[in-house]
């Protein structure tokens, strides 16, 4: 399916120069007495490389035929991570390079969307926020909690996030997967 520059959306996957890219940003310009141009910031979904490309403003883009499947993370063995399709129950391995930062936010049993292109997983869509348990952090010292100071907390997936001093081990935190930032405590 081909689209024009007016139909572009953020995070849309397209075929460009024989590769699959995700459109991160774009800008359509019409300068006086000049043909229109489309400037796109693209990320190669296989390599992760990001670059800018300029094309004619009326250039037709081809949407990559992606297959989105809701899948459950089962287990890891080395740098291979096994997922199960929630509809067909088929299991398949995904390499660590494809998972990228999403690996920091998923636990065994979690569900997320995997994008397939020509039968292979090329991209993982983690939820925007996840709830993770604090497994290790320093104790707050009386009197320091009113200053707005922060400390590091290690979460159940192994990553560390900066949290306020009042957070203690065993608490569940909401974390933004895009930035890796602590958002709030999750109350029962």
Whole-number Å distance between alpha carbons of 166 and 126:
28
Consecutive 10-residue averages of pLDDT for the chain (188 residues): 78 84 85 86 82 85 87 91 93 86 89 86 85 88 66 92 90 91 86
Rg (alpha carbons) of the chain, rounded to whole number: 21
Whole-number Å distance between alpha carbons of 183 and 21:
30
Give all domains of the chain, ordered by start, each with its CATH number: 2-63 (2.30.30.30), 67-125 (2.40.50.140), 129-185 (2.40.50.140)
45-73 pLDDT, tens digit each? 777 788 898 888 788 888 888 888 999 99
CB 112 within 8 A of CB 127: yes
pLDDT at 2: 81
Whole-number Å distance between alpha carbons of 51 and 40:
8
Determine the number of helices (DSSP H) and then strands (DSSP E) in the chain.
1, 16
DSSP class of residue 170 equals T
Whole-number Å distance between alpha carbons of 121 and 103:
15
Q: Which residues pair with 67 in a beta bridge?
A: 116
pTM above 0.85, yes or no: no
């Amino acid at each position: 399916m081909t689209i024009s520059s007016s139909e572009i959306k953020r995070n849309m996957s397209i075929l460009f120069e024989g590769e699959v890219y995700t459109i991160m940003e774009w800008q359509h310009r019409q300068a006086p007495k000049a043909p229109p141009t489309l400037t796109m910031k693209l990320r190669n979904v296989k390599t992760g490389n990001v670059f800018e490309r300029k094309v004619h403003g009326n250039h037709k883009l081809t949407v990559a035929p992606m297959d989105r499947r809701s899948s459950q993370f089962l287990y890891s063995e080395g740098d291979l991570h096994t997922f199960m399709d929630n509809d067909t129950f088929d299991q398949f391995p995904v390499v660590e390079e494809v998972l990228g930062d999403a690996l920091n936010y998923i636990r065994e049993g979690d569900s997320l969307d995997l994008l397939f292109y020509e039968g292979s997983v090329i991209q993982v869509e983690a939820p925007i926020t996840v709830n993770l348990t604090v497994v290790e952090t320093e104790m707050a010292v009386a009197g320091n909690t009113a200053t707005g100071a922060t400390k590091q907390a290690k979460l159940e997936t192994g990553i560390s996030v900066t949290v306020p001093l009042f957070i203690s081990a065993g608490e569940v935190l909401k974390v933004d997967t895009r930035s890796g930032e602590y958002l709030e405590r999750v109350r029962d």
